[in-house]
Amino acid sequence: MVKINTRDFGEIEISEENIFDFPNGVFAFEDAKKFALISPLGDNVYPMWLQSLSDISPCFIVFDPMLIDGQYSVTLNKSEEALLKINESSKTRCLVIAKVPADYKQTTVNMKSPIIINTDEKLAAQVILPNDYQFRLPIYLSEKAEE
C-alpha cells in the first residue's frame, strides 16, 4: 500500500496496482506522469477518480464509456499501441473524463479523448479517436427529453 495526497479525499492509502505511468501526461497536464485510479465507492464502481501523484491537481472524475454508450469502440494507431506496449494478449481498460459542474445534471464526458490503460504494463495515455465522438457528451437526460 502507498499513501497519497488527494484533492477530494485527503491522504489515503491505495494499492500500487492502481498506479499508472502516463509517459505523455494528460492533455493540458503533460508534466503529470503518474496517476492513481481511486474507487472510493468500491472496486470497479463508478465514478472513479484519476489522481495525479505529483500534485493534488490535476484530478479527474472518470467513467467507463461502455456504461454511457454500449456501442463505444476504440481503435488505437500503431504509435499508441507501441507507447502503451499493447499486443493481442494485453489487458486494457478505457476511461472517459467527466466535467462535473455545480449542477451535476449538467455533467458531460469526453468520449473523443479517452484514457487507455494497459493494466499489465501499468502504462496509460490519453488519445484522440478518429471516430465521430463528442468532446462534451451530456450523461443526464434534460428535463425536456424526459417528458
Q: Where are the domains of the chain?
A: 2-140
The DSSP code for 66 is: G
Provide the whole-model pTM: 0.90
> Does the pLDDT at position 147 exceed 50?
no
The architecture in CATH of the region 2-140 reads Roll (2.30)
Cell of 25: 501526461
For residues 62 and 138, what is the distance between their CA atoms, to the nearest angstrom? Answer: 14
- The confidence band for 143, taking pLDDT boundaries of 50, 70 and 90, is low
pLDDT in tens, 62-120: 999 999 999 999 999 999 999 999 999 999 999 999 999 999 999 999 999 999 999 99
pLDDT in tens, 25-75: 999 999 999 999 999 888 778 899 999 999 988 999 999 999 999 999 999
